[in-house]
Amino acid sequence: MKVIHEEKRWIGHINTSPTQPNLISFCHEGPWEKVDHRIWVMNIETGDVWKIREGKPNQYAGHEYWYADGIHIGYHGFTESLERKDGKFLGYTKYDNSITEEFEFPYQNMHIHSNDATLIVGDGQQSSAYHGERYQDCIFLWKKTDDGMEGPRILCKHRGSFQVQHVHVHPRFTSDGTKVLFTSDRTGYGNVYLVEVPEFESLPKLVDGKLVK
């Protein structure tokens, strides 16, 4: 065992790039709006450490993950300001911060995942005026278009409780993008489930909190 980095912080959520063996990402754990900065990357060969998505006042991003290319990092977050106290967004950035793209939408996710920027999966842990209590136990999909992110479309219900970390839904695409793996305690115990992903346009969508088939 070898110590490669140490701080007077709670370091967690460590992920290795799937294609760049010298790169890892990690975070400073804690309430997102109270830690000094959430998302970090380290080059384990040189020891260099740097912030991801720096310089965004009153915006907090996290639940970071690597795209399949091992170059880009996806995340989601929220905005707190006098103008937008509950603004939500998702996005991605290149590991060196040279490319960043983000999309705003009035919806709260607990976790998201994708293999790239074209199709994103998220769970509906928190209710809001946008989707209401009725749909907070669903898994949703968003598709990138020329106009932004289309969706959400409902893939299925997960019916997870989120009562402890072990049964957080954590939806995740398979490497070929044809299925989504997730956790649910719908039976009272945590189990892992696999659901097929059909054509995006065939799935029911939410428009102003109403289901449209």
Q: Is 210 helix (H, G, I), strand (E, B) or coil?
A: strand
- Dump pLDDT digits (tens) for 3-59: 999 999 999 999 999 999 999 999 999 988 889 999 999 999 999 999 999 877 788
Domain-located, residue 84: no
Average confidence (pLDDT) over 155-167: 85
pLDDT, tens only, 55-72: 777 888 999 999 999 999
Q: Which residues pair with 87 in a beta bridge?
A: 79
| 150 inside domain | yes
Q: What are phi and psi of 211, to 5 degrees?
A: -80, 130
In a domain, 137, yes or no: yes
Number of domains in the chain: 1
Range of the domain at 148: 105-212
Mean per-residue pLDDT, 91-101: 95
Instruction: Decide if 118 is inside a domain.
Output: yes
pTM beyond 0.85: the answer is yes
Report cis status (omega within 30 of 0) of the bond before 18: no
Phi, psi of 104 (to 5 degrees): -95, 145
Are the CB atoms for 172 and 183 separated by under 8 Å?
A: no
| pLDDT computed for residue 192 by the predictor | 95
